[in-house]
A and B are shown apart, each in its own frame.
Chain A
Amino acid sequence: MKRKTLRHVAVTGIAAVGLAVLTACSGPASGGSGASGSTYGFDAAAQEKGSKITVWVDAAREPIVKAFQADNPNVPISIETYDGNAGGSGSFQTKIALLDQSGEGWPDVVFSTQTNDASWAAKETNGVQAFAAPLNKGLLDDAFLKGFTAGANDPMTVDGKVYGLRNDLAPVVLWCNQKLLDQFGYKVPTTWEEYQDLGVRLAAEHPGYILGSIGDSFVGPYVYYWGAQAPIFQLSGNTFSSNFDDSKSKNMTSMLDSMVKNGTLVQDSVFSGSFVQKYADKIVAMPGPAWYAGALFQNPQSLNSPKGEIGAAVPLHWNGQDKVTGNVGGGVWYASSHSKNLAAVSTLLKYVISSDKASSLASGLPAYDAAASKWLDTQAASGYFAGDFKGAVQTAASSVWKGWGFPSFSPETAYAAVVVPALAAGKPIADVVPEWKKQILNEAQVQGYTVK
C-alpha cells in the first residue's frame, strides 16, 4: 500500500474510533429496565429467580454471612470482603461510583461500618438511579421493620423511606475493670469531672495504669466529644457548623490534654498489637462503644479479659447536665436497587438482622429488639461481665445525644489527619484545635455543604 494512503486510512480509522467512543461515553446508559416501580417502591431491575447475589462485608461481619450461606444452600451467594468503610475511607462510595460509570457489576448487599452513607446512597447521581433500595416500600414487611429499637434506622431514613438496616447500636458505656477498681479502692466514676480526677489520682498512686486511648480516630470524636455534647459536628439542612469555643468543647479538650499529659490516656490504637501487649491488664476504666464487648474484651486475639473482671457502667456525663452519651457507628446493611434477585436479598437481610445466629454471633448490642434482649440475656447468664451489664447498656442505648450531625463525610478523617499526628509529636490538642476546625469545615465545603 502506498505510504500516503496508509496514513489516510490510519487517521480516518483513529478518528472513527474516537468518535464512536466519545458518543458512547457522552452519557451513561439509563438505569433499570424491567419491573415497574409499584412492587417495591423503586425501579427494580428485571428479576432473575435464583441468580447469584454478591455480598460485600468487612472481616467482622463475614461469619454471619457465611452462617447464612451454610443455612441456605439453595441461595447462590458470593461473599467479598472489603474495608467496610472503616475510618471514613469512603471505599463504599468510590467503588459504587466506579460501578455507576460502567453501568454494571453492582453488589446486591453491602455492609458499611459508617452510618452516614444514606446521605449519598439515597440520591441519584449522574443520571444513575440511587444505589440504596428503599426497604419499607414493599421489599421488607412492616412487621419486621417495626422490630427495630426506636430510632435505630433514623440515620438511614430520608423522606420517610428507609434505605438501610442498622446492624447494631453502639452506644458508649463506661467499661470498668471492677477487679482493679476494688483493688485500688476507687469508686466507679459517673461524671467526666470524676473521670478526670480519677486520672489524677491514678497517675500519682499507680503510674502505668490507664483510663483509655485516644489514638483511634473514632474514639476522639465519637466517644469523647459526642459524649460531652460538644457541638463540633453540626448539620442543619445543608448548613454545616463546628464550634470548638463552646464550653463543652473546651472542657473536653482540656480534659483530654491533661489526661494525655499525666499518662492516663495513651495513643496506641485499641486494635494494635502494642496496645494489647502493654495495657491488657492495666485498663482501670475506659469509655467505649458496646461492641468493645466482642471486639476487645471477649476477643482471644485482643484483650481477652478473664471472666468476671470487666463490667459496663452507665456512661459519663457532665455534672449537672443531661445524661447523654456518644455513639460509635453501628454498621448498616444496604440492599442494591439494581439487584436481580431481591427475594434472596430480603431473605439475607432478615437473617443477618433477626435470626438466632445473628444474636449469637453479635459482638455488640443488636439494633433489632428481639435479638438485643437475647444478646443481653446471654451475656448476663454467662456471668462474663461484672455488675449490671444489661442495665448499663440499655440505659446507654436510650440516651444517645441527638445533637450530632450526619453529613456525607466522617469526622474521623480530620481527626486522623490533624490530631493523631499532633499527639504523636507531643502537642496538646488545644494547640491544633484551629487547624482541626479548619480541616472539618474544608471537608464540609468540598462535599457541598454551606459552612457557617
Chain B
Amino acid sequence: MATATATAADSRTVAGRRRPGRTKKPDRSQTRIGYAFSSGYALLLVAFGLIPAVYAVYLAFTKNGSFAGLDNFVRVFGDYRFWPAVQHVALFILVWLVSMTLLVVLLALLVHAVRSRWASSAVRFLYYIPGALAGASSVMLWLFLLDPTVSPVAFVLRLLGQETFVQTVSLENLPIVFTLIAFWAGAGGWIIIMYGALNNIPVEIMEAARIDGAGPAQTAWHIQIPLMRKWISYMVVMSLAAGTQLFVEPRVLSQASKGVVPQEYSLNQLAYLFAFRQNDFNGSAAISLLLLVVAAGLSALFVFRGGLFERD
C-alpha cells in the first residue's frame, strides 16, 4: 500500500511541475477533431436516446394527449404482474452483478498472470468468442443446453435434479439460468477490458510489490484491484443498465417453453405487453420511466463510489 501511494504522489508532483510548460500553446486542432469524432455519436445519442426518453416522459404523464398526473403510475403499481416482475429483475441483477464482478476480475487476473504470449492470446480469444453470438442466437444455443433430453451436459442437469426442460426453467431456477446465459455471452468482452486495465498498471509498481514480498493473491488484493476500481465500476454500471432491461432471454425462453416461463417475467417484457397487447402506451412509458430512474440512481451510486470520473 505504501509503495502505491508514494508512486502516485510522485507522479502528481511530476505532472504539476510539467503543467505550466504545457498550457503555453494549446492544441486547437486536436480539440476540433475530438468534437468531430464524437459528434456522430452525440447526434445518434440525441436521436435514439434523449428524444425517446423525453417522449416517454411526455407519455408517462399524459393519457390520450391530456395531462393525467400520476394515474399511469398508479395503474402500473396496481397491476398484478408489476411487483413480481420487480422482484425477478432485482434478484437477477443481484445474482448477476455479484457473480459477474467476482468471476470477471478473477479470470482477468488469471489471464494476466499467464506468462507465455500465445497461451494468453489463445485464452483471451476463447473467452471472447461466445460474445460474438448476438442476443437471441446465444439464447437459442442455450435452449439445447437447458433441455435434459438433448443437452450435451445432461448429466450435470440430472445431477442437479432437473429431469425435464420444464423443470430446468422453473421460476426458482430462472435467475441462475439468465445469469449463465448473460455471463457466457458478455463476460469475454469485459475480461478483455479488465486485461487492458491490468496492463495499464506500471510495471514498476508490480516489481516493487514483488520486491516487498507480496504473493500473487496479496498483489491482486492490495494493488491490482484498487487500481482497477474505475474499470470495475464501469463494468458494474454497464451491466446494471443491461440487466435492468432484461428482455431477449426471457422472451425467447417464454416462446420456446410455450408459456412455462411467464410472458411478463421482466419489467421490460411487461412494458412491451402494456404497449402492444393492451394498447396502453402511457402505462408502458410509465414503466420505462421507473426503470430509468432506478437504473440512473443505482448507476450514480456506483459512479461516485467507484470514482469513475476522477482524474489521477
A complexed with B: yes
Please report A residues at the B interface, Cβ cutoff 8 Å.
Answer: 14, 17-18, 21-22, 25-27, 83, 86-90, 93-94, 97-98, 125-126, 215-217, 267-269, 272-274, 412-413, 415-417, 420-421, 424-425, 442, 445-448
Q: Are B279 and A97 neighbours in the complex by a CB distance under 8 Å?
A: yes
- B-side contacts of A420, CB under 8 Å: 166, 259-260
Contacts of B167 in A (CB 8 A): 424-425
B279 touches A417 (CB 8 A): no
Could you tell me if B150 and A273 are in contact, using CB atoms closer than 8 angstroms? Answer: yes
Q: Please, what's the 1-or-0 string for B271-283, where 1 marks a CB less than 8 Å from any CB in chain A?
A: 0110111110100
CB atoms of B276 and A421 under 8 A apart: no
Contact partner of B259 (CB less than 8 A), chosen from A21, A88, A273, is A88
CB-nearest residue of chain B to A447: B278
Between A and B, 22 residue pairs with Cβ closer than 8 Å are: A21-B55, A22-B54, A26-B65, A89-B259, A89-B263, A90-B277, A94-B277, A97-B276, A97-B277, A125-B279, A126-B279, A273-B149, A413-B263, A415-B259, A416-B259, A417-B262, A421-B166, A421-B171, A425-B167, A442-B80, A442-B81, A446-B81
Q: Using an 8 Å CB-CB cutoff, how does the interface string of B246-260 with A read, 1 for contact, 0 for none? A: 000000001101111
Min Cβ gap B28→A in Å is 12
Interface centre among B166, B258, B279 (most CB of A within 10 A): B258
> In the assembled complex, which residues on chain A have CB atoms less than 8 Å from the CB atom of B281?
126
Contacts A97-B276, A98-B276, A424-B166 given; indicate if A87 touches B51 (C-beta within 8 A).
Answer: no
Further 20 A-B residue pairs, CB within 8 A, beyond A273-B150, A446-B80: A18-B54, A22-B54, A22-B55, A26-B65, A83-B255, A86-B258, A87-B258, A87-B259, A89-B254, A89-B255, A89-B263, A90-B273, A94-B277, A417-B260, A420-B166, A420-B259, A420-B260, A421-B171, A442-B80, A446-B278
**B79 CB within 8 Å of chain A:** yes
Chain A CB within 8 A of B170 CB: yes
Contact of B171 with A17 in the complex, beta carbons under 8 Å: no
CA distance in complex: A141, B62 (Å):
45
CA–CA, A412 to B258, complex, Å? 9
Indicate the member of B79, B81, B170, B260 with the most A CB atoms within 10 Å: B260
A95 to nearest B CB, angstroms? Answer: 8
Contact B258 A217 (CB under 8 A): yes
Determine whether B50 belongs to the interface, using a CB cutoff of 8 Å to chain A: yes
Complex CA distance for A151 and B164, rounded to whole angstroms: 40
Q: How many Å lie between the Cα of A196 and that of B209 in the bound state?
A: 77
Within 8 A of A (CB), among B216-271: 254-255, 257-260, 262-263
Q: Is B8 an interface residue (CB 8 A)?
A: no
Say whether, besides A18-B51, A87-B258, A267 and B164 are in contact (CB < 8 Å).
yes
Among B51, B81, B255, B260, the residue within 8 A (CB) of A421 is B260
Main secondary structure of the interface of A (DSSP, over half): helix
Hey, which chain A residues are within 8 Å of B255, CB to CB? 83, 87, 89
Give residues 67-121 of B contacting A (CB, 8 Å).
79-81
Contacts of A88 in B (CB 8 A): 259
For B184, list chain A residues within 8 Å (CB). none
- Determine whether B36 belongs to the interface, using a CB cutoff of 8 Å to chain A: no
Q: A25-B55, A93-B276 are in contact. Are A17 and B170 (CB under 8 A)?
A: no
Q: Please indicate the chain A residues that have their CB under 8 angstroms from the CB of B79 in the complex.
A: 446
Interchain nearest-CB distance for B283 vs A (Å):
11
| Distance from A451 Cβ to chain B, minimum over Cβ atoms (Å) | 12
Q: Who on chain A is nearest to B258 by CB?
A: A87
Contacts known (A26-B65, A424-B170, A442-B80); A14 close to B50, Cβ less than 8 A: yes
Q: What 1/0 mask marks residues of chain B from 170 to 184 whose CB sits below 8 Å from any chain A CB?
A: 110000000000000
A337 to B149 Cα, complex, angstroms: 45
B128 adjacent to chain A (CB < 8 Å): no
Residues of chain B within 8 A of A448, CB atoms compared? 278
Distance of A448 Cα from B171 Cα, bound (Å): 27
**Roughly how many angstroms separate A196 CA and B46 CA in the complex, as a whole number?**
65
Q: Could you say which residues of chain B place their CB within 8 Å of the CB of A424? A: 164, 166-167, 170
Q: Which of A217, A446, A447 gathers most chain B CB within 10 Å?
A: A446
List A contacts of B58 (CB < 8 A). 22
Contact status B55-A94, CB under 8 Å: no
For residue B149, which residues in chain A have a CB less than 8 angstroms away from its CB? 272-274
Chain B residues with Cβ under 8 A from A272's Cβ? 149
| Whole-angstrom distance between the Cβ of A448 and the nearest chain B Cβ | 8
Distance, CA A417 to CA B263, complexed state (A): 9
CA of A446 to CA of B273 in the docked complex: distance in angstroms? 10
A93 CA / B149 CA spacing, docked (Å): 33
Asked if residues B51 and A417 are in contact (CB atoms below 8 Å), the reply is: no
Q: Are B278 and A417 in contact (CB under 8 A)?
A: no
Within 8 Å by CB of A217, from B47, B259, B272, B279, lies B259
Once bound together, how far apart are the Cα atoms of A446 and B79, in whole Å?
Answer: 8
Residues on the A chain within 8 Å of B263, using CB: 89-90, 413
Q: Which B residues touch A421, using CB under 8 A?
A: 166, 170-171, 260
Q: Which residue of A lies closest to B274 (CB)?
A: A446
Give the Cβ gap from A266 to chain B, nearest Cβ, in Å. 11
**What's the Cα separation between A425 and B161 when bound, in Å?**
11
Q: A272 CA to B166 CA in the complex, in Å?
A: 12
- B262 contacts across to A, CB distance below 8 A: 417
Query: Which residues of chain A come closer than 8 Å to B260, judged between CB atoms?
Result: 416-417, 420-421
Name the A residues within 8 Å of B279 (CB-CB). Answer: 97, 125-126
In the complex formed, the residue of B with least CB distance to A438 is B80
Q: How far is the CA of A338 from the CA of B18 in the complex (A)?
A: 70
Give the CA-CA distance A417 to B264 in the complex, in Å.
10
The answer on a CB contact under 8 Å between A21 and B51 is yes
Q: How far is the CB of B280 from chain A (nearest CB, A)?
A: 10
CB distance from A325 to the nearest CB of B (A): 24
| Cα-based distance from A342 to B277 in the complex (angstroms) | 27
B61 CB to nearest A CB, Å: 13
Chain B: CB-nearest residue to A87:
B258
Shortest C-beta distance, B275 to chain A (Å), equals: 7
Question: In the bound complex, do residue B275 and residue A97 qualify as a contact, i.e. CB atoms below 8 Å apart?
Answer: yes
Give the 6 A-B CB pairs with smallest separation, nearest first.
A416-B259, A94-B276, A97-B276, A424-B166, A87-B258, A442-B80
